[in-house]
Amino acid sequence: MLDEVPLTQVMQERPLSISQLRAFVRCPKSFELQYLYDPRIPQRAMGASVWFGTIIQRIIQRGYHEMPFYEAHLQVWKQACGPVFEQLQDWFQLDEEYRASGKANTNARRTWLMEHARYRVLAEQIKAYQDEHLSRWNWSEKYPLTAYYRWSCTFARTTSPVQVLLPSVVLVEGLPVYGPSGDLIRRFDDTDAREHYRLLHGVIGGAHVVGVPDEFALDEQGHAWIADNKVSASHLTPEELAEDAQLAAYYELLRQNNWISTGQPVSIGHIYIREHGVEQVWADTSRYDDQVLPLLHEQFARLKAAIAAGTFPRVRGIQPASLSPCRFCGVAHACPKPEGRTEASHAGTSLPTPTFEEERTYSW
Ligand code: SF4
């Protein structure tokens, strides 16, 4: 029985994550390809919104350390896109002039464009950088790098900290915001090379699991708040949030690491960073003990059992094409063909060390 394996032994095992569980539940073969093959098969065509999510999260994280959002925006973009940072700034300045020149599809805007050729030249230079250095992401026509820069700039200039930052925050990316004496911990100056996130470890379904929420707060009434920030178009209702596996895993890991005690009131939420505003959605954990957590433990136990047995069946053909996850599979290029031919080699029993920086990225 998995549950009878000593805790210390479980914690020595290769850790699993909610991203891995989601991959496994979607298709066991895709989990195997992404996480057990050596070298791991990277997902193709992952949406650039995932990349942008990490940018926004870095800005918010700096906000918790009292860096103004706009200053944080500049620092993060300079670090992420240094070679085109000046072009992005120049482009954005012209973009504001362009948008102020008239309504969309008017002669006023057309005239402005003819008189400002540099606007197009800058966009082309930035696009060339995007194609060369950020090509692993799938960029939509509506949201190239320039559009995400505009979004980030607008967020940084128009968002008040109280719209986004949780009061009474304790942990951001698993790291304390305040020291033992209550002083704000200074991070993110130009010389700060320390870690900027720390995973929580625990045991779920008999498996070693790691993860960390974007934020964890504890207010004066003892109410705990677990939040993740999202830039994706999807939007969960409170009902859906109440059974979201990612937030439930964070809850369980926080509880096992003594940040939450039994019976303590807890709210779980998503903070949606939209292009033109911020929205928070919260739910309670009243269904956790009876429904959500038992299911989460069961699913991680299934994943652990599958790894032990080495069984990862493909789902191709099981569902009708319209419902098949194969349509959106980022590792389909390496999925074994029906005749058994594979395009990637298996590592046998030697498992590679997972990259949890990537896990954090995927959680967006
Ligand atoms: S193509 Fe289909 S069967 Fe193959 S790994 Fe992807 S989801 Fe699974």
Compute the distance between CA of residue 75 and CA of residue 152 in angstroms, rounded to an integer: 12
Strand-strand pairing, 224-230 and 266-274: parallel
Compute the distance between CA of residue 36 and CA of residue 259 in angstroms, rounded to an integer: 32
pLDDT in the model for residue 263: 87
- The single-letter code of the amino acid at 341 is R
Compute the distance between CA of residue 360 and CA of residue 364 in angstroms, rounded to an integer: 7
- Pocket-testing residue among 31, 32, 331, ligand 1, by greatest number of atoms within 8 A of Cβ: 331
332 lines ligand 1 (CB under 6 A): yes
203 lines ligand 1 (CB under 6 A): no
Ligand 1 atom 5, closest CA: 30
φ, ψ (nearest 5 deg) of residue 170: -115, -50
Give me ligand 1 centre to Cα 199, in Å.
29
Ligand 1 atom 2, closest CA: 326
Give me ligand 1 centre to Cα 231, in Å.
26
- Helix or strand run (H / E) with residue 296: helix 293-309
For residue 68, whether the previous peptide bond is cis, meaning omega lies within 30 degrees of 0, is: no
Residue 304 CB-half CA count within 13 A:
23
Ligand 1 atom 7, closest CA: 326
Strand-strand pairing, 277-284 and 266-274: antiparallel
Give me ligand 1 centre to Cα 311, in Å.
14
- What is the pTM for the complete model shown? 0.88
Query: Which candidate, 202, 304, 198, 178, places its Cα nearest to that of 250?
Result: 202
- Pocket-testing residue among 22, 24, 26, 30, ligand 1, by greatest number of atoms within 8 A of Cβ: 30
Compute the distance between CA of residue 226 and CA of residue 218 in angstroms, rounded to an integer: 9
Compute the distance between CA of residue 223 and CA of residue 218 in angstroms, rounded to an integer: 6
292 lines ligand 1 (CB under 6 A): no
Give me ligand 1 centre to Cα 39, in Å.
18
**What does the pLDDT profile of the chain (364 residues) look like in tens digits?**
445 567 788 888 999 999 999 999 999 999 999 999 988 998 887 899 999 999 999 999 999 999 999 999 999 999 999 999 999 999 999 999 999 999 999 999 999 999 999 999 999 999 999 999 999 899 999 999 999 999 999 999 999 999 999 999 999 999 999 999 999 998 887 677 667 789 999 999 999 999 999 999 999 999 999 999 999 778 899 999 999 999 999 999 999 999 999 889 999 999 999 998 999 999 999 999 999 999 999 999 999 999 999 999 999 999 898 899 999 899 999 998 766 544 443 433 333 333 444 444 433 3
Compute the distance between CA of residue 279 and CA of residue 229 in angstroms, rounded to an integer: 10
> How far, in Å, are 106, 217, 348 from residue 165 at the CA level?
39, 10, 45
Give me ligand 1 centre to Cα 73, in Å.
38
187 lines ligand 1 (CB under 6 A): no
pLDDT in the model for residue 337: 75
